Structure 1
Amino acid sequence: MKYYLLRTVSDPKIVGVTDGGGQVELDANNPITEELKNFFFFASYWNEKRTAPNFDVRNCTATIVPKAKLTDFLNFSPALMTCPFMISERLAEVFASFKVQKYYTYPVTLSKEGMLIPDKYFLFCCPFLGYEVINFPESVFYTKKSLFDKERNYIHYKDEKDFSENYIVSAKIEKLVLNSNFDSSLDYFKTRVGEIYISEGLKDAIEVLGFTGVSIFDDKEPLIVV
């Protein structure tokens, strides 16, 4: 199966905001926001091997920031580990009809200038696939001296342990090879290495149905090998 890279957009013409930030902000005065921030905090999330909240996620609220436009894939703040965006009700229905890796959705009530709006959105939480699905010896990593430097310094990792102990923050991926235990029938996946990838079928659905807020690429590294 061919996979495509999916990224949210920051173009002000599409999202409205001009500072590159989220279009909505989880309300800081709502207790559930603090619970989510604590649960999805980067360090403790990995150290405690967390996946999805072990508490009832209810009554989430968020405020649309000034000048923001609503898109189907909706950027929000603060950032929460494994929660890349909020999704519209219509998009949630489409996701449910495709084979997306294990995920959770939590209803979010949006408001603008103190007024509730009728549009239904969900916080999308999708725990990453683990290192066990990655074939480290055959995957290709590299670093560069600068953004525009064409010369690549290749890095080879023997296994997950080698990667964890010798990981270089600035390393990029030229080729990501997945093991046989990876479910190649997935239409959407995200591992602990790399970005979000979708199948051609899901790509076509997003494009044909006109879902907004993302760009889809088939010419961006890494090459995905299944």
Structure 2
Amino acid sequence: MKKLVIFFCLLAAWQANAQVTIAYCKFGGGCKLYQTNYSYAQVDGMLAYLGAFEKSKGILVFFKNKQNQDIHYPDNKRSPRQLHEYFGGKGEPNIAKGAIAPFQETIQPESGNWEALTEAPTTQNCPAQLESSLKSAAGLRSGNKNFKKPFSPDELFPNTPWLTTGPNKYRAIILPETQPAFKTIYEFEVVSPKLIKGTSLTVVQMSTQGAACSMKTNFTFKHKN
């Protein structure tokens, strides 16, 4: 009985600190699985699952449906092998490290001098002082970019773990453990070798008001010929 109690205590501790496994699946082709550096709480906040993913755990699945739409959902019923076989794969799938999945359709941005352009941000429910502070922290960096092959977002946004959410589409979240009421979600798409478009969304839950303060900024990276 004592050993069983210890086992469940260890299991609970592991789940609390567990990292999310993601699967990029294709009907008839199985799944490619990756172990990410993200916690369940981070992915929950990034994809707006409203606490459901953190509670139920499972594997985060990305795939295209029959209408060619990009779909994602948490699968808490299938093991990696069962998921792989459900999408048409065979045997036990390999689970690699990381979360930047290579797609056949991946566009490789050209290395060189890139200019970062930001539109005027839109804000909701933000006090003037906080709004000013958020705007001053929203800058993106222009300059020379030397992109890896295959492409990784690290050169655009250093020290940020990313998820590939579809061909040429990437998403990340900054969710400081010391400031649980503060989060920023970045999302962008590589449109062409010389153009990248995206948005950043910062949300601050104010203790003095019910509605959260939010600031959304559209941005563009353009290669300078």
TM-score with structure 2 setting the length: 0.26
Larger Rg, first or second structure (1 or 2): 2
TM-score with structure 1 setting the length: 0.26
Report which structure shows greater RCO (CA 8 Å, sep ≥6). 1
